[in-house]
Amino acid sequence: MGVRRREFCRPARADRAGQLAVDRTAATSPQVIFDLSEHLCYDGVVEAERATPTARRVSRGLPKASRDSYSQGGPMEPRIVFHDAFTVLGVQERVNNSDPQFYHTLWMERYMPHDEQVKPLSTDKAYYSVYFALDQQEYCLDGMAVAADAVAPEGLVLRQVAAGRYAAFDCTVNTIGQTWQAIFDEWLPRSAFEIPPDASSFEYYAPNTETGDSPVMIYLPIKDKAL
């Protein structure tokens, strides 16, 4: 994701947890808002819905105990996989870490008006968030996987995610933020891998993601560390 990967990933991904849980599941599952407010130590439902800034979320919502262990309570042990190239159709925006509503706006106001156009083209009915660098800036693309020869309707963009080796981390909607935090604070420095320049990472949301406990997969591009 470019030269500023660590600086970008740690605050943005932690901040994303609350907004994804609210935006992608709470519309059909109100219970997840209450669950999220308790899980991230918010001061109630209203605060959870507003997706509070990173500093507060990291200090209150991500206690060291949860950062030092995986979301299921054990050591962080991702699967090392080869993922084929695929194409995502959706909306993209330059990441603005100073805006606590960035991901809410990207998902609800930018992507959702196009959702009915995208769904019929989806190859797997899952949603993706793809993180990448463009002109030395960090971008996020929200959308669905489509055929490589798909044509983007007006207002949407196509982006191919390259084939390659990835570390695949299991988590849930509720634990996206703390999992990203643990990846960069704990797992990556101790691993035998580093992140290839300009590679894309992505989150995979299975069809029927409806609660805070719904599974999410985080795919981090990797290569062997230089000796």
Q: What is the CATH number of domain 5-224?
A: 3.20.80.10
pLDDT of residue 137: 85
Between 132 and 16, the more confident residue is 132
Residues 6+ apart with CB under 8 A from 87: 145, 146, 147, 148, 150, 158, 159, 160, 161
* Measured distance CA(114)–CA(155) in Å, rounded: 8
- Please determine, for residue 67, whether its predicted confidence score (pLDDT) is greater than 60: no
Residue range 156-211, pLDDT digits in tens? 999 999 999 999 999 999 999 899 999 999 999 999 999 998 899 999 999 988 88
* Measured distance CA(61)–CA(41) in Å, rounded: 5
Instruction: State the pLDDT confidence band at 2, using cuts at 50, 70 and 90.
Output: very low
H helices, E strands: number in the chain: 9, 10
pLDDT of residue 16: 52
* pTM beyond 0.75, yes or no: no
Buried b (16+ CB within 10 A) or exposed e, 74-100: eebebeeeebeebbbbbbbeebeeeeb
Query: How long, in residues, is the chain?
Result: 227
Residue range 74-85, pLDDT digits in tens? 457 899 999 999
* Domain chopping of the chain, boundaries: 5-224
